[in-house]
Chain A
Amino acid sequence: MASDHSNPPKNFREFLQHERSYMIVFGTLLVFTGITVAIAQVDLEHDYNMFHGANMTLGLIIATFKATLVMLFFMHLISEKQLIYLVMGFTFFFFTGLMGLTVWAMLDYPKLTTFFM
Chain B
Amino acid sequence: MEIPFTSKARPDTGLYNAKVAIWLFLASEVMLFGALFSSYIMLRIGAPEGTWPLPGKMLMTFPGAFNTAVLIVSSVTVVLAWASLKFGNFAQYKKFQAVTIACAFVFMGVKAFEYHDKLTHYAIVKTDGSVWDGHMVQQDDQSVTITIHAHEEEGGHDHDHDHAEHAHDDEHAGDKHVNINAYLGVKGIKGFEYNVDEHGHHVDGEVTIPRSEIAKITNYGPQHSTYLAIYFTLTGLHALHVCGGAFVIFMIWGPLAKMWETDPERYINRVEVSGLFWHFVDLVWIFLFPLLYLL
Contact = CB atoms under 8 A, between A and B. Distances in A.
Contact of A2 (B38, B83, B287, B291): B83
B61 interface: yes
Contact of B83 (A12, A22, A91, A94): A22
Interface stretch (B64-72, B194-202, B212-220, B225-233): B64-72
A26 B294 CA distance: 22
A90 B27 contact: yes
Interface string B57-77: 000010001001100110110
Contact of A102 (B24, B41, B68, B75): B41
Interface residues of B, number: 54
What range describes how many residues of A lie at the interface? Answer: 35 or more
Contacts of B55: 40, 55
B20 A99 contact: no
A36 B140 CA distance: 44
A50 interface: no
Contacts of A5: 83, 86-87
Given A56-B295, A102-B41, A88 B61 contact: no
B72 A29 contact: yes
Contacts of A13: none
A78 interface: no
Given A94-B31, A95-B34, A109-B46, A40 B23 contact: no
Interface of A: 2, 5, 8-9, 12, 15, 19, 22-23, 25-26, 29-30, 33, 36-37, 40-41, 55-56, 59-60, 62-63, 66-67, 70-71, 74-75, 81-84, 87-88, 90-91, 94-95, 98-99, 101-102, 105-106, 109, 113
Interface of B: 13-15, 19-20, 23-24, 26-27, 30-31, 34-35, 37-38, 41-42, 45-46, 55-56, 61, 65, 68-69, 72-73, 75-76, 78-80, 82-84, 86-89, 92, 275-276, 279-280, 282-283, 286-287, 289-291, 293-295
8 contacts: A2-B83, A36-B294, A59-B291, A63-B290, A66-B286, A82-B13, A98-B34, A105-B42
Return the 5 tightest CB-CB contacts between A and B, nearest first: A40-B294, A91-B27, A8-B87, A5-B86, A26-B76
